[in-house]
Chain A
């Protein structure tokens, strides 16, 4: 028997299992995307052009950079440079907030144009376009929710490092929050091309 409190491998296995469930959760939505893309290919392509690639690309860069900061913070913690580690985590948090602000303006712009769920603009137009934006709002909303959860985890990790509860020898909290953040990033890596790029 291994004592669970100190079994870092076990804690990580648990976290990975949880991440599988997240992948399946988003997988359900990607299945919808795949089926509807096959059904409404031309509508999807023309609707995709309405999204602003600059917004999407900026958010991609922001998230990738934040993932780098989180990874670096774990290394910093293991090298016992606690202050640097906290600064890096907070940098990642700032990136996450920037992502949300960006998303707010992007959504606001679209809603201003009359494109939102069940809006006359969508319902009276091509059915494929309605489905495209329905999926766009559902997936980005769920992803945004995950960003908020991830930010909460990172902030808790930063507080725990500051309090000396998360240390180089006991880094599971930061390590697992980092894994979660990478997942949020990874999901976006699929969302970005599917909605902004390939269409």
Chain B
């Protein structure tokens, strides 16, 4: 244990809190992100729960429309900019990526720490936005003209998103350089583990798309202070152009959110199926294809905004095209499990739930991507259900799966499996109860972003609220179980799951410079033959 990075600060002169706040160790920075991201995640969950409680019964139950508008805006802004975008890349990417490619750190360690400070500064700015004129009430999209005319703190919230974007860009730049320059010399491009591949594709999107949101947010802030009129029709501006610029980033951003999640799933499925991943190259190239095609579909958020029919046709077609690489991955994961020697464990349970929920989210995405059906369900609860199925059922479940998969590596402790299964069951059941009714009320015409509704929607909303409570209880139980392992959990061995990527060849938790000897990457990152021949496959960790 003395060699663990917990006991060896990156700068030996630093002790205590300074050894964390001034660290350049990618593992410590990953953990700093973990705690900050979890704080925001749990906070935004509680905000969401308040929203759903208000909606459980018709009429005004807890608060009125103004509070409701502020709450759904905060829920969206926090979940997107402070949780989903940084969660997997900043936490697991930082911790695992350098180890998976046999490096001792990222290429720019100090820049990495700066990214964390920018993340914290962005979070602080988001808190500042709560006071004074009150939290923004525009929704996370900051659509003009309302975002320019409203009296609430839109400028602070936009500044927060700008700073967070900067943090995300620097992380992406760091990862690309690290993968290019610090890979073990013996690891060729098509020997890189799939999680690292997915982060590589993500990093390019982070780098090329984020500046667009930066300039768009700058323009909104300038409009608020100078009233130049670039988006104001009375002064010659075009508000639709704002929507184009906004989605030019924000649609690629959903791939920043989901690609790393897909990478996590691609690591977990083969390990617990004891079988080589089906279609390694197909998964690699579909990640890159998603990064490219996903950058060309932004206007499918705007079918009802008044674009030309040609534009609607083109963007609808491209939207269908981007479904193909996602489906390639889903089929590859399922084919990997086929005839594998499957060992049920918490990471695998979350991964299987991911595949199911993400597929539902993906298929309903096609309903929204088709221009005809979109008109009917545009801006209804159907949309809310769809993007929660992909973002929560997808990315957040992948995050939970990754958390359970790498927890023993990060902290050197095993958690209680039985409790983890119960929590996974609660989260999944609660999730389905929570979001499925929204598809139905959405189809029936219930719009999003209203604090009240017609009587016929009450049953569906009550069920959704009930599901929300089960879901939130499950998440807190999961967090409790993980934290409890730090106190009572059995010590984890270096390779508890019998994985074959490099992070499983080093002690848990890893030493300061990750590798005690020169790393020896396998020729193929998913060859389980040496474990399959063993009789005793896995130790139960209870």
Contact = CB atoms under 8 A, between A and B. Distances in A.
Interface stretch (A17-25, A76-84, A91-99, A148-156): A17-25
Given A117-B229, A134-B237, 18 more contacts: A1-B103, A14-B108, A21-B173, A24-B208, A25-B212, A25-B214, A26-B215, A28-B211, A28-B212, A35-B238, A36-B236, A117-B226, A118-B227, A123-B235, A131-B235, A134-B230, A138-B228, A142-B218
Closest 4 CB pairs of A and B: A127-B236, A10-B181, A24-B211, A28-B215
A37 to B, nearest CB: 12
A138 B230 contact: yes
Given A2-B182, A27-B212, A118-B229, A20 B207 contact: yes
A13 B207 CA distance: 13
Interface of A: 1-2, 4, 7, 9-10, 13-14, 17-18, 20-22, 24-29, 31-32, 35-36, 39-40, 117-118, 122-123, 126-128, 130-131, 134-135, 137-138, 142
Given A17-B176, A21-B210, A28 B228 contact: no
Contacts of B215: 25-26, 28-29
Contacts of B211: 21-22, 24-25, 27-28
Contacts of B448: none
B229 A131 contact: yes
A1 B104 contact: yes
A10 B107 contact: yes
Contacts of B177: 10, 13-14, 17
B197 to A, nearest CB: 18
B226 A17 contact: no
Interface string B216-232: 10110010001111100
B93 to A, nearest CB: 16
27 contacts: A1-B103, A1-B104, A1-B184, A2-B182, A4-B105, A9-B181, A13-B176, A13-B180, A14-B107, A14-B108, A21-B211, A24-B211, A24-B212, A25-B212, A28-B211, A28-B245, A28-B248, A32-B241, A32-B245, A35-B241, A36-B236, A117-B228, A117-B229, A123-B235, A126-B236, A131-B236, A131-B237
A35 to B, nearest CB: 6
B427 interface: no
Contacts of A28: 211-212, 215-216, 245, 248
Contact of A4 (B181, B228, B238): B181
Interface SS of A by simple majority: helix
Given A14-B173, A28-B212, A138 B236 contact: no
Contacts of A14: 107-108, 173-174, 177
Interface string B158-176: 0000000000010011101
B102 interface: yes
B236 A40 contact: yes
B314 to A, nearest CB: 17
Contacts of A20: 207-208
B236 A4 contact: no
Given A128-B236, A134-B229, A21 B207 contact: yes
B454 to A, nearest CB: 40
A138 B216 CA distance: 12
B230 A135 contact: yes
A122 B241 CA distance: 21
A35 B237 CA distance: 11
Nearest to B105: A4
A126 B102 CA distance: 62
Given A4-B182, A32-B230, A130-B235, A21 B169 contact: yes
A13 B185 CA distance: 18
Nearest to B515: A1
A7 B102 CA distance: 17
B229 A123 contact: yes
Nearest to A141: B222
Residue among A29, A32, A39 with max Cβ neighbours from chain B (10 Å): A32
Interface in B225-259: 226-230, 235-238, 241, 245, 248
Nearest to B180: A13
A137 B228 contact: yes
B264 to A, nearest CB: 24
Contacts of A22: 211
Contacts of A10: 107, 177, 180-182
Interface string B170-198: 00111011001110110000000000000
Contacts of B245: 28, 31-32
Contacts of A36: 236, 238
Nearest to A14: B177
Contacts of B210: 21, 24
Nearest to B104: A1
A24 B103 CA distance: 30
A22 B214 CA distance: 10
B235 A127 contact: yes
A26 to B, nearest CB: 8
Given A25-B214, A28-B215, A28-B245, A1 B230 contact: no
Contacts of A2: 181-182
Nearest to B208: A24
A117 B238 CA distance: 16
B227 A117 contact: yes
A4 B227 contact: no
Given A14-B177, A21-B211, A1 B108 contact: no
A18 B173 contact: yes
Residue among B236, B237, B245 with max Cβ neighbours from chain A (10 Å): B236
Nearest to B222: A138
A195 to B, nearest CB: 15
A130 B223 CA distance: 13
Nearest to A35: B241
Contacts of B102: 1
B159 to A, nearest CB: 15
A20 B209 CA distance: 10
Nearest to A132: B236
